[in-house]
Structure 1
């Protein structure tokens, strides 16, 4: 069953749910009105006996039949809800163990990856609990403190306090510079704008002389724009530079701080565990389809060194260069690596072996006039 059918079933359930809610609210409003009318009669007196008023209310509610009105829409909703899981089961294979391969995992490394994920997400209590229960306190605890510092910096930035971030950037100035990062300048720019936004033009000039002038030779355009802001100290939000006050700039700066923090820790900006799970989620459906075709050949699946089917993942999961042999049109693998020929062109090993008759003779490069000796080809590593 196609995914759009699942979506149709989901839309049907949500539609029934809205109808049921709307009908329930309509009945409740009706009951509320009748009760209020009865209360007004009792409170106003008008010579009416309160017992007769309640008796009249009871008759009206019985005529309204609220339960009967609700039963119809609720029944339709229950039918749709009961069908939806069945449609999901037909569309998705609930047993993903078919695509599982027996892999000997290094428990200590796996625990470190999981703990690292919790800490980099700021889930420190969860990370501590995981470490305590995994009995890996000593080797893993050292990864917590850098992320605690990172989140302290980010928390201060949420209140537009840049002092902790500036202190950290100054302490790691040489490392940031070596990585080609201009984070320190961006932090000083934001601090300059904060000073100016508060209306202190003289303090902003002093701050620029102390902290922005060292960047003048390499970032003159940015600094000139900041100097232009001095003309609008009291009304910067109405100036041509008002976009510099956008809250999005704070978000981008916080993202850059996080990126550089992780970079100096030797970690990627995205959690490796999150990326792995997301990539695995995309790869799982074709693998399950393949295993359904290979039913009864579980042992063959367990012994394969390479994936038996091509998996198309989003560009977000492309981290390494991929070489496709221009002759065979096949993607390079460990068993069929790219080989650099003496002329500078590259083919896959199997293509070279075929063209050289298993290194028994030279062959002409398919892209230039050079004669190639297969024994002189070198393996390339991307």
Structure 2
């Protein structure tokens, strides 16, 4: 991919620039050291200034600072030229891949404002809403994300009370989602209490909060009970991993994920995902548009592209069925149909093979006789 080649070229430039900088600083330090040594000798009343200067000149000639610097600078220039060539290969005219679509401006504004709010940029989001003249576009979602960030800010200061209160209020919904967030929060609070050296208080906290989770998390609770023997010195215990900051990061991520889930929002910002997927899919799309333009063909009216635009798995949210006979992607007018034998073809392929349901036909993948009237539509 062109974007990857540009990144590699940039990384090489950064590496060469760092080497050039280090080499230049090394040469400068050598020159400074020789000059300082000569100055100290000249300050001595017994030294011959002409002789000292002559010796300094000889030393500087031996160091050959320009020669040393030119080598790394030349390598940097070569890397820069290759980076520029890689940039030239990237077609900046992305308008060729633009397709005329009608967007609901209100929906787009809501998505943008929600992106700012989910990033914690509430003032920026408010400013955008005011500029877009849609003050009611994201009021509800703003208050929800504000609550989430108040909880996360408290957690940064190792204050778990707001998070525990939220998890308790939503414990039933968290259980439905199969999340053990509440236990993880109690886990962190227990360790915080124990780390302060209060064994009795930690034991009291465990008795109060761990009992409801004993059935499914006994081994984890037993491990925490073992920590009681090392109150105030957990870092020296066999359970030192409970102090890892990673434990907090995991809980923060889980809380954010569950909070977004419960308010009907995705964990990742839809705007960020859209842009990231677009950046990944843009290079092959631009190549296809260039070929189409060369053949003077119009792609605006196409229902689907004739070439695949591969995206990573994190950008694949819906199942896609391609008919193994026609090699066409299923649509609302041409849905996938499961035959009585269990194999699946698109509706148009079945109609074609059955002469519009007037006769039975052989499944192309097994010897079963298929009656088109008994085929059932599949929903993904």
TM norm. shorter chain > 0.5: yes
Q: CA–CA distance in 1 between the matches of 2:222 and 2:73?
A: 69
Aligned pair 1:46/2:36, yes or no? Answer: no
Q: What residue in structure 2 maps to residue 137 of structure 1?
A: 135
* 1:289 alignment partner, one of 287, 290, 294: 287
Query: CA shift at 1:337, angstroms?
Result: 1.6
Query: CA shift at 1:193, angstroms?
Result: 2.0
Checking the alignment, whether the CA contact within 8 Å between 1:364 and 1:372 is kept in structure 2 is: no
Checking the alignment, whether the CA contact within 8 Å between 1:338 and 1:380 is kept in structure 2 is: yes
Q: What residue in structure 1 maps to residue 323 of structure 2?
A: 325
Q: CA–CA distance in 1 between the matches of 2:358 and 2:265?
A: 47
Gaps of 5+ in 2: none
TM-score, normalised with respect to structure 2: 0.84
Q: CA–CA distance in 1 between the matches of 2:104 and 2:179?
A: 35
Q: For 1:1-382, what aligned pairs fall within 5 Å after superposition?
A: 10=10, 13-14=13-14, 17-18=17-18, 20-37=20-37, 40=40, 44=43, 46=45, 60=57, 72=70, 76=74, 79-80=77-78, 83-84=81-82, 86-295=84-293, 300-328=298-326, 330-341=328-339, 345-366=343-364, 367=366, 369=368, 371-374=370-373, 376-382=374-380
Q: CA–CA distance in 1 between the matches of 2:319 and 2:16?
A: 49
The number of residue pairs the alignment matches comes to 378
- Select between 172-181 and 322-331 the one with higher mean Cα deviation: 322-331
| 1:165 to 1:87, Cα distance in 2 relative to 1, 3 A | same
Checking the alignment, whether the CA contact within 8 Å between 1:216 and 1:223 is kept in structure 2 is: yes
TM-score, normalised with respect to structure 1: 0.83
Gaps of 5+ in 1: none
Q: CA RMSD in A?
A: 3.6
Q: CA–CA distance in 2 between the matches of 1:96 and 1:211?
A: 57
- Select between 71-80 and 142-151 the one with higher mean Cα deviation: 71-80
- Select between 133-142 and 6-15 the one with higher mean Cα deviation: 6-15
| 1:329 to 1:103, Cα distance in 2 relative to 1, 3 A | closer
Q: 2:299 aligns to what SS in structure 1? A: helix
| 1:297 to 1:180, Cα distance in 2 relative to 1, 3 A | same
| 1:29 to 1:95, Cα distance in 2 relative to 1, 3 A | same
- Select between 135-144 and 83-92 the one with higher mean Cα deviation: 83-92
Q: 2:293 aligns to what SS in structure 1? A: coil
